[in-house]
Structure 1
Amino acid sequence: MDFQEKYKKLWSDWDIRVLILLSFSVQIDLIFLGRLRKTSASMWIRMLVWSSYLLADWVADFVLGQLSNAMDDSSSSNAIIAFWAPFLILHLGGPDTIPAYSIEDNELWARHLLSLGYELIIAFYVLLRSLPNTRLLTPTILIFFVAIIKYIERSSSLYKASAESFRRSIDSSARKLPSNISLTISNMEDLNAMNRAFGLYSTCKPFFIDATPHVEAYKETIELSKEIIAKEVLIVMRLELSFAYDELYIKAAINHSRVGYVL
């Protein structure tokens, strides 16, 4: 009995600290494995990324709820506990490398944004319980500001990659092949080649959501593919798939915008 009570007391004292470290470790895994997933077809990598992706939100949500129970009006550690709350919201914002694991995740942008209100209520409650201790009030508020920005960035990137928003982005001008694309691609590794590949990607975007491409742009793309050799076609396809991955699965649409640069 004493043995069980000893470990119950140990877990009671360290449970939140251990779970916060677990949440931090999962975020680090996603930062590196999220990039590796783009170039690796390993089943073990996909399994590890998938499990980390699911675990990240669950752990952060769970610990955020536990923080309110850990507050003690007579404890001197309340300021530290309140300081952890915005970091958990920052974790829920997720790393830039993997805001979504699958295309279906992008359709849940509204639910993800709505969850922000619930999580902010808990975090502000924890902060208010820590008052009048103001030792860490200023850095806590600053981290809150950063965490809210990261969370909204993730919700915005999910919305941008959703089928409805993706379809709206494919207007008549985006479907047309840009006039500055040369029909001869000599060196696919330079910046000009990337620009040409991005221009081709603009014409191929409708295929990713089963939309009908612009007829003229489609014909010009077919003519272009006849003019280049097979090796160059594969390089162009690699670049186009890379652009599609960045737009559908990471925060590229937000980070590489004017608002994203300011944030």
Structure 2
Amino acid sequence: MAIGSREPFAPVLREVRAVVFDTDGVITDSARVHAAAWKTAFDAFLRDHPPDDPRQGRPFDVRDDYLRFVDGRSRLDGAAAFLASRGIEPVARRVRAVAAEKERLFTHRLGEQGVDAYPGTVRLVRALRAARMPVAAVSASRHARELLTGAGVVDLFDVLVDGGEAARLGLAGKPCPDLFLEAARRLGVPPNRAAVVEDALAGVEAGRRGGFLLVVGVDRAQGPSTGERLLRHGADIVVGDLGELLDDGLQR
């Protein structure tokens, strides 16, 4: 069912019948842990395998490089994209090596630090459920269920499509829309009646390619360049926190 005009949601959601949320950086604050692990892995690789052009050997930037090359993608796709951006041929052994090191670092840091769910996201999801709106969580990571469980929010979602499911079903990674389309299919709602919520450039592009009714970009840093990029890649709107999609959030 669609959200009614009497529900406490921003007007942009009023025609939506289901919402598909990305996990890292949208539901949980795990994007910071991913970015830190990628930085350590990539910086070590660049030191051990310096590019021919010294300018290409600069350290991995946890904001710009993370957003452009790895955020929202599978580990292997992210590793390959970043290495290629530095003029390093992304042969399979190199990609696997740096991806495996990132996985080791991420798992270690996740065990030490844990992650939390963003309060604004939790408020929105609870409000959607109260309005009997089906919701799904999607992630290119195989850690999504672990992250959502650790943050205490896994039971809020009707459907979870993660990296393990993507591998099992042969779903292409973002910016292809396969993960989002599978989530919408499981919710029983066509894409042109559903919304996608994403913080990654590849993710908003996937939502646009999938023909979703609404693509919401989330810019936690609230920097003008990031918001503009999200819009250019396919977001219909950009918010700093998902609480802004509640009517009371718009008043804050």
TM over 0.5, shorter chain: no
**Taking structure 1 as the reference length, what is the TM-score of the superposition?**
0.21
| Structure index of larger Rg | 1
Q: Report the structure, 1 or 2, having the larger helix content.
A: 1
Q: Report the structure, 1 or 2, having the larger strand content.
A: 2
**Taking structure 2 as the reference length, what is the TM-score of the superposition?**
0.22
